[in-house]
Amino acid sequence: MFNGRFDHAIDDKGRVSIPARFREVLQAEGHDRLYITNHIMERERCLALYPPREWEALVSRIRDKARFDRNVQLFQTFYIGGAHEVEADRQGRILIPPKLREFARLDREATFSAQIDHFQLWDRAALGRVLQSAEQLMEDPEFVGKLNI
């Protein structure tokens, strides 16, 4: 399970270090690579990073959907079609493909954010806007009640 939020810098070559806590989870499960793809939340762009087992589970669920459903096709084109498999180097860094860096508007300042079974990589300012929106929702007791947690 992934948890936490960690600020990291992206170097001039487009490499970023996976947070140590995230690397520990990946190594415990025997993963040395990730699947990275486009993601949008609250109208803000980021990247979603999945360990192979979680990526395969997601792909399996998509395979069970109606192949010719327009929404499924659009999702596959955006999410699956935009995915890249990346390996972590000996220093625990991954190279973020240029098209994905461009999509998520990633420059130097980035933040990893956990999502239990995968994690996201955000431009810090964009994540700040999403967190501000989330904070406002969390103040609404009706919203929290609807979560059924």
| Confidence (pLDDT) at 67 | 85
Cα→Cα distances 134→39, 63, 98, 120, 131, Å: 17, 31, 29, 16, 5
| Confidence (pLDDT) at 148 | 79
Q: Which residue from 15, 29, 9, 5 is spatially nearest to 100, judged by alpha carbons?
A: 15
Low-confidence residues of the chain: pLDDT under 50? none
The two tokens of residue 129 are 């806007």
pLDDT tens digits along 32-60: 999 999 999 999 999 999 999 999 999 99
pTM metric for this prediction: 0.93
Q: Domain ranges for the chain, please list them.
A: 5-124
The two tokens of residue 107 are 């420059």
Cα angle value 95/125/123 (rounded, 5°): 10
Indicate the pairing of strand 119-123 with strand 109-114.
Answer: antiparallel
| Confidence (pLDDT) at 149 | 75
| Confidence (pLDDT) at 116 | 95
CATH 3.40.1550.20 fits 5-124, yes or no: yes
